[in-house]
Structure formats: structure tokens, C-alpha cells
Amino acid sequence: MKRIIMLMSVIAGMLTVNAQKDIPVTDQRNGQLWADTEGRHINAHGGNIIRFGDTYYWYGENRPYRGFTTEAGIQVYSSKDLRTWKDEGVALAVSNEAGSDIERGCIMERPKVVYNEKTHKFVMLFHLELKGKGYAAARVAFAQSDTPVGPFLFIRSTRVNAGIWPFDMDQAARQAAMQTDASRWKEWWTPAWRKEVEKGMYLWRDFKDGQMSRDMTVYIDDDGKAYHITSSQENLTLLVSELTDDYLDFTGKYNMVAPGGQNEAPTIFKNDGVYWLICSGCTGWSPNEARMFSAKSIWGPWKQHKSPFVGLATGYRDMPADKTFGAQGTYVLPIGKRFVFMADIWNPRHLSQSLHLWLPIEFDASGTPKICWADHWYESLHLN
Ligand code: GAL
């Protein structure tokens, strides 16, 4: 009897621990589920945050508990202090219309919302995969709204820069790209294959129909110009493309960054006139080592640095820096003169339960970004 009681109390103990683990916390502790004002985990992944008036809006993928496709749309939360988040509902909803680009069951990822000072509209760009096509469509989509919480109206989805060469590719480089033939290369990762990728093999393969666009972000520069930064060419090469003044199209000016470098999850910010690009490697939902580049101009040249992540995620499974503490970046949020790196700790079994990891970006003596683990993103920011 005694043994049964002991066993029962051990099981009860295990259940409590599990239950506690599943209860969203209100103090935004990294490595835990984060509560909104209703006590529900914030279901906004791969997204970004903007400030409008005295309110912050957090947009992200509303992910289902089971499965990978988008059943609701892009969610939006609001906050005055970045700490208490109110669920404002679905900002851009999937469509019930069969055949629509955003038909329920498509995949909407990595939404980025920006405010256009000229048109006074909120513009959303996101990665779209068409229903039933896995990740083959690789498109970017545009939506627009008069208010920050939506409803956003879907405008269209497209491949990128069809029929246009990167502006910095000269005649000789174009000729070299045109000589490549992607259909010949069955085996990837050989030195010869890599050479062809650097020449623009996949750029040329997709030249006519437009370049692929998967993980992406949008950056608004100080002059109001917007840039779309995306993982293209089978996730091998990043493209930086200028957007039109209304942010609803591409101007056609673009270039490639780190051809063949396999950079995903691009995030970008500018500090003291230097652009910093922090990306991940390409291992699906599993974490990998972050990569970092800097440039004096958005058009490069980009210099590669080592990953800004340092140390261990102490207290959170001791995840090491070379696994980005278990996370993958999504956005860099400027707060005053400081920056917060926002990332997702993906939970592919239950994507809605993926965790948020926010960490302040520090700078070393040479001005290079450095990101260490902290239990709370706001601890060292002294915001008040
Ligand atoms: C990741 C990417 C995510 C999602 C996932 C699907 O590499 O960053 O946004 O596309 O792959 O496996």
C-alpha cells in the first residue's frame, strides 16, 4: 500500500511539473510559453513588431497545434509596453475560396508588416506556399490594410524579379550564368556544383519565371525606402530587392548576397551607419549556428563575421551558442538606441507551441554585435 501511495505521489508530481511547463508565464521568461492577456500562449511566429503611435503591434504566423499548414492566417497582438500583449485576432485571414492563392491549407510564413508614410497604409509581405504544393511555389505575397490590426486585404503573390538581372552583374557575369544548366547537376555540394551556383546557375534556371522567395524580411531605411530580403535559389542565395514607393511591388533593382551560402531567416538592422544582417543556416525546424554579415550600404559588399551568439543558454537545456540557443531569428526590434533579437524556438510537433526567444543585442569594443543568453530580454535594457 505504502509503495502504491509513493508511486501515486511520484506520478502526481510528474503531472504537476508537466502542467506547470505548459502554463504560459506572464514575465516573458525565455524558454517558456508566453502568456497574452487571456493567459494563452502568444501564437505569432516568424513575424515582426512595429510601433504606431503609442502602441506596438506584433504580427506572426498563427500556427495550428497539429499539422503544418495555415488554417487561420496571420495573427496580431497589441501592447503599450512590449510586456503585456492583447490578442487582436487574425489580421490577414486565409480564404475559403477554392483556388485562391491564400486558400485555407496554404502555408503563410514570416510575415513582416511595415507602415507606409506616403500612402498611410499598413503593408504586409510574407512567404506564401500554395495549397497542396509543399514548399515548391516559393512566392512572396502582398497584403494591405488601413489599420494596424486589419483586416488586411490580400493583393497578390508572385515570384521575384522575373526576367531581370541583378544590377551589379556585368555582361561577362551574365554570359557565364547563361552558360550554366541546372538540370545537369544531379549531385549537390560537389566543388564543381558550388562553382556553378556561384555563377548564378539557379538565378538563370528561374530567370524567366522569377526567382524563388522563401524566408524573408523587409527593411525600411532612414530615407523611407523599403527592401525585401529573401532566401532564394533553393535557399542557397539571398536576394536584396528594392520595393516601389508604395511597398506593393519591386522596382527591379536587386542583387545577390552570399551566393551558395545557404542563409535563411534573414534579420537586419543598422547601427552607427553599419547594416548588420543576421541569418540562420538551413536545417528546417532544427536549430543551427547563426551567421552574420555587415556592410556600409544595403547593396554591399557584405563582409561575413562569426556568429554573434556567445555562451550557453544557462537554465534552458544548456543550449549552446552554436545552436543559436535552440532558436532561429525572425526580426530585430529597435527600441530607442537598443536592439532586441527576436527568434522562435520551433516545436515541429506542435507548431503553435513554438517558443519565443528575445535577447538584447550588445556591442563589443569594436562595435560588433554580441548576443548572450538572458532569462528575460528586458533585464539589461533599463527601459524605464
Ligand atoms: C525553416 C524556415 C521556416 C520554415 C521551416 C519549414 O528553415 O526558417 O520558416 O519554412 O524551415 O521546414
Nearest to 63 by CA among 99, 111, 16, 96: 111
The closest-lying atom of ligand 1 relative to the alpha carbon of residue 282 is 7
At 333-365, the pLDDT tens digits run 999 999 999 999 999 999 999 999 999 999 999
Nearest CA to ligand 1 atom 8: 265
CA of 192 to the centre of ligand 1 (A): 27
Ligand 1, residues at Cβ distance < 6 Å: 46, 109-110, 215, 264-265, 284-285, 328
CA angle 201, 203, 205 (to 5 degrees): 70
Nearest CA to ligand 1 atom 4: 284
Q: What is the dihedral of CA 27, 29, 32, 35, to 10 degrees?
A: 20
Beta bridge partners of 92: 74
CA of 324 to the centre of ligand 1 (A): 15
At 121-166, the pLDDT tens digits run 999 999 999 999 999 999 999 999 999 999 999 999 999 999 999 9
Nearest to 24 by CA among 356, 324, 346, 348: 356
CA of 214 to the centre of ligand 1 (A): 8
pTM exceeds 0.75? yes
CA of 285 to the centre of ligand 1 (A): 6
CA of 284 to the centre of ligand 1 (A): 5
Res. 12: pLDDT tops 80 = no
In a 3-state reduction of DSSP, which class is residue 321?
A: helix
Q: What is the dihedral of CA 18, 359, 258, 273, to 10 degrees?
A: 170
Residue 60 CA, chain-centre distance (Å), reads 9
Using CA atoms, how far apart are residues 236 and 21, in angstroms rounded to an integer? 37
Q: How far is CA 63 from CA 39, 96, 214, 231, 264, in A?
A: 17, 17, 17, 21, 20
What domains can you pick out in the chain, each with its CATH number? 47-158 (2.115.10.20), 165-257 (no CATH), 263-384 (2.115.10.20)
The closest-lying atom of ligand 1 relative to the alpha carbon of residue 107 is 10
Q: Grade residue 18 by pLDDT with cuts at 50, 70 and 90.
A: very low
